Amino acid sequence: MNLLADLLMHAGQVTPDAPAIEVPDDRVWTHGDLAAASARMAHALVGLGVAPGDRVAVQLPKSVPAIALHLACIRAGAVYLPLNSAYTPAELGSLLDDAEPTLLVRDQAIEHSVRCLAMDDVWQLSLESPEAFDDVARDADDPAAILYTSGTTGRPKGAVLSHGNLAASATTLVTSWGFTPGDVLLHILPLFHTHGLFVALHTVLASGGSLILQASFDPVSVVADLPRASVLMGVPTHYVRLLAEPTFTRAVTSGIRLFTSGSAPMLVSTHEEFTARTGAVILERYGMTETCMLTSNPLVGVRKAGTVGPPLPGVQLRLAGESPAGIQVRGPNVFAGYWRRPELRATEFTDDGWFITGDLGTIDADGYVEIVGRSKDLIITGGLNVYPKEIELLLDTLPGVGESAVIGVQDPDFGEAVVAVIVAEDPAHQPDPEHLRELARVHLAGFKVPKRIHVADELPRNAMGKVEKARLRAEYS
């Protein structure tokens, strides 16, 4: 029994002629095509000496063969290890040392002892193989994938997601977000991150629906393909960029039944602008690499901007400690630990088995979770704690401020000083930092008021739209 393979391959069995993946300006792959391609690829992996439990690392552009390779790993019991396409060969080296994969699939070889093959070569090998494959039996606890966290600080950690975690997550999302075989998801996310891979791809495959595979995010291509889709999943930056595109109109979005956002917080003003432009309300949800999806605003019912909704079915979520309290979670979707880092079990999980997310939150009377910061973001200034998110939320409301990021920088007097970087709402009207500090002083205790406010053209963000605070700290300290 390989529950995850059964779930993702089900449509290949029952509706083999139904579309699975449309590659714009190219061809449509059916669920049957995908089942056959992944079976062939699974034979190729076995022929290359990949045994159950072995890691297969990939650093590849988005393509159907890359998706078939991912499915082949699940079917052959190998552990899929997707690597961020932004990683340099030097960064790759240390991850490969840590993960010790049997195989790396990457179009250019790198200097490393791991065996490296180009995607085309693996594809060619697969074409010589049969198009049926007996999926390797896996238990729910067996690892299916390792994802190095896209955390913006510290040494990368490989989160090990099990077959059970991924099957539970996909099943919950199909139901909670009402996916059916008629759905067409416009896929604009990278496939090396949990959002594009497990939230978007797996949910669609498990539902028997289809996706339009865009190579990367480009607002003009989104506008072109959106009329053929029913669902769009994005990060806040995608929505901000779409709103900056004049051809992104209500007519273009009228066929979309669901817009989701996550991976980073969406400003309430973006929610409002989106609704004013399209008439639609974005469904914001919250999850992590380590846990898959945790909470979601409802498909049917009130979606509250600024919150990430109640816990999804099967997910247990609690707050621990003093306000702002830490979010801890448990459930079939939550990973069991980091690759070869058993010592982290003691620090990242509680004694009674809950995962400590590192996010700080509140829960309102209706059970909706609001994320109010990251515990690791904490600034200690003159011995007092400052949570950047609190300051950012206030700065965002001040006149002329589009968005903000607050960091702690070394300070001889205070240990750390609170520093803000803001982006003007209108580039032609830059707010005066001193005036903003005066306004902030009306609302905030003196020690929380930023000692300095810098005005920048934009905030540095990673591929998932998260503000890179380490870069800001390096720049402004």
User: In angstroms, what CA-CA distances link 404 with 196, 449, 450, 453?
Assistant: 26, 13, 12, 10
- Note the residues at the interface with ligand AMP (CB under 6 A): 149-150, 194, 262-265, 284, 286, 288-289, 308, 357, 359, 371, 374, 464
Can you tell me the distance from the alpha carbon of 67 to that of 69, in angstroms, rounded to the nearest whole number?
A: 5
Can you tell me the distance from the alpha carbon of 110 to that of 387, in angstroms, rounded to the nearest whole number?
A: 42
**Residue that is written with structure tokens 């650093």 in the block:** 59
As measured in angstroms, the least distance from the Cβ of 441 to ligand AMP is 27
As measured in angstroms, the least distance from the Cβ of 170 to ligand AMP is 16
Closer by beta carbon to ligand AMP, 19 or else 324: 324
Instruction: List, in order, residues 6 or more apart from 221 with CB less than 8 Å away.
Output: 24, 214
As measured in angstroms, the least distance from the Cβ of 148 to ligand AMP is 10
Closer by beta carbon to ligand AMP, 140 or else 264: 264
As measured in angstroms, the least distance from the Cβ of 150 to ligand AMP is 4
Pairing label, strands 143-148, 116-117? unpaired
Closer by beta carbon to ligand AMP, 210 or else 263: 263
Number of residue whose CB is nearest ligand AMP: 289
Can you tell me the distance from the alpha carbon of 156 to that of 147, in angstroms, rounded to the nearest whole number?
A: 10
Closer by beta carbon to ligand AMP, 348 or else 411: 348
Closer by beta carbon to ligand AMP, 377 or else 416: 377
Closer by beta carbon to ligand AMP, 30 or else 297: 297
As measured in angstroms, the least distance from the Cβ of 287 to ligand AMP is 6
As measured in angstroms, the least distance from the Cβ of 464 to ligand AMP is 5
User: In angstroms, what CA-CA distances link 421 with 261, 285, 404, 475?
Assistant: 24, 26, 6, 11
Closer by beta carbon to ligand AMP, 286 or else 368: 286
Can you tell me the distance from the alpha carbon of 295 to that of 368, in angstroms, rounded to the nearest whole number?
A: 8
As measured in angstroms, the least distance from the Cβ of 149 to ligand AMP is 5
Can you tell me the distance from the alpha carbon of 68 to that of 76, in angstroms, rounded to the nearest whole number?
A: 12
Closer by beta carbon to ligand AMP, 258 or else 464: 464
User: In angstroms, what CA-CA distances link 121 with 26, 39, 44, 104?
Assistant: 21, 16, 10, 12
Can you tell me the distance from the alpha carbon of 35 to that of 8, in angstroms, rounded to the nearest whole number?
A: 9
As measured in angstroms, the least distance from the Cβ of 69 to ligand AMP is 22
Can you tell me the distance from the alpha carbon of 176 to that of 64, in angstroms, rounded to the nearest whole number?
A: 27
Can you tell me the distance from the alpha carbon of 233 to that of 219, in angstroms, rounded to the nearest whole number?
A: 13
